Structure 1
Amino acid sequence: MEIITNNLDLWGEALRGTMVLFIGGGILALVLGFIVGAMRVSPIPAARAVGTVYVNWIRNTPLTLVMFFFAFCLPILLRERIDAILLATLALGVYTATYVAETLRSGINTVPLGQAEAARALGLTFGQVMTLVVLPQATRSVIPPMMSVFIALLKNTTVAAGFSVLNLGSVRSNLSERGENQLVTLLWVMVIFVALVLLLAWLQRAMERRWKVAR
């Protein structure tokens, strides 16, 4: 425990960096993923094409390259200095949004087509059909895979360690400069990640129970 108690400041900053990346990237991924997912099932061919290109392009690009673009290329294109943790959060959000979109699309496809057609026959717009008829039913089926996406996002935050962002992925190198045992540091990092993943798993079960009762 001394490796933690003697370096509480560094551990606190590293955990804070990881949570900022996870929460910020998760919110961006949900918003952008919802938009892209809606485009993927849109009746408008142009919208479907844009959504398909975005998903296939970003999802098939390694996260490291996406992070590299945001960390080095974007500041050059914008010609201004941007905080590293903000750039890493944007990269994680843009990358994870593709998986969120595909998860939502899979859930939407589980809803019988006749329900959407009946809603449109009543005069509902595409947005109303999605928000009032399709998504409430699709949500039940997407909770487990969506939580898997966010668990992957949590672990992907460590990639930002290679781009000068202090988080749990970079705490080992910082503590090694203080003379701490690197193996013990890695073991504690593993314990923290396992605890965070178990917390997400508990949240998933709680949400599933709530939706099951609601049904």
Structure 2
Amino acid sequence: MPHLAKDSSDKREYYRWQYAHEIVRLAEEKKKAIAIERLDIKDKGRRGDFSGRKVRRIRHSFSYRSIIEKIKVLAKRKGIQVIEVNPAYTSIIGMLKYAPQYMISKDVAAAYVIARRGLGLKEQIPEGYMAILKELDIDELEEIKEHVKKTVKNKQLKKRQLKEIEKMIKLIQSLGSEPGKASRPLGGTSFGAGSGSYNLWRVLKVAVVTPLSPEKVLRDISVLKRVIFSGQVGRPG
């Protein structure tokens, strides 16, 4: 939606209404409900300065919220149900599970997860990923951490990745601190929408994506297709 970032305020408002009308029109035509993320956008005064990429993200967030509100208004007029779902980890789940299987973009895959939540469906972790989780231990995460330290040149990216790896190490340690707790979530493939299942997706992102592409965003999602079915991922050397 480039118009929402570049054009004047009046034009952006016009395009928001246009996008909202088109979405509601499609829902009416297909006789479907509309599933959207339940957004919690903080007051912009708490977001620090307004420069560079930060201001673009803020503008996009508020444009997105505005479109959502317009969709709700138009859908109500047409008698179309709007289902708001928890947005947690839709991007991670979409990238890891659906983008490689259906060869779709990460954004479309995230939308697919949102739609499934709107239908009340729960996500299952594929068997290949479960095999990785069952074998994953702190030593492997420490290896990934050392790999990031050696290969990632961008200091901010390195700091962010190391922080996430440390969180996953502490998570695994906490699972192992209570008898039987670690084996229960890692021993099955069916998970609900609770925070425990979300944590496992976060662990997977660190264990699978970071070794494959530590320095930049993973563009070639097709490499994950092999991982899903084989349960094997290239480890840092």
Measured against the shorter chain, the TM-score band is under 0.3
More helix by share: 1
TM-score (norm 1): 0.23
TM-score (norm 2): 0.22
Tell me which of the two structures has the higher relative contact order, counting C-alpha pairs closer than 8 angstroms and 6 or more residues apart: 1
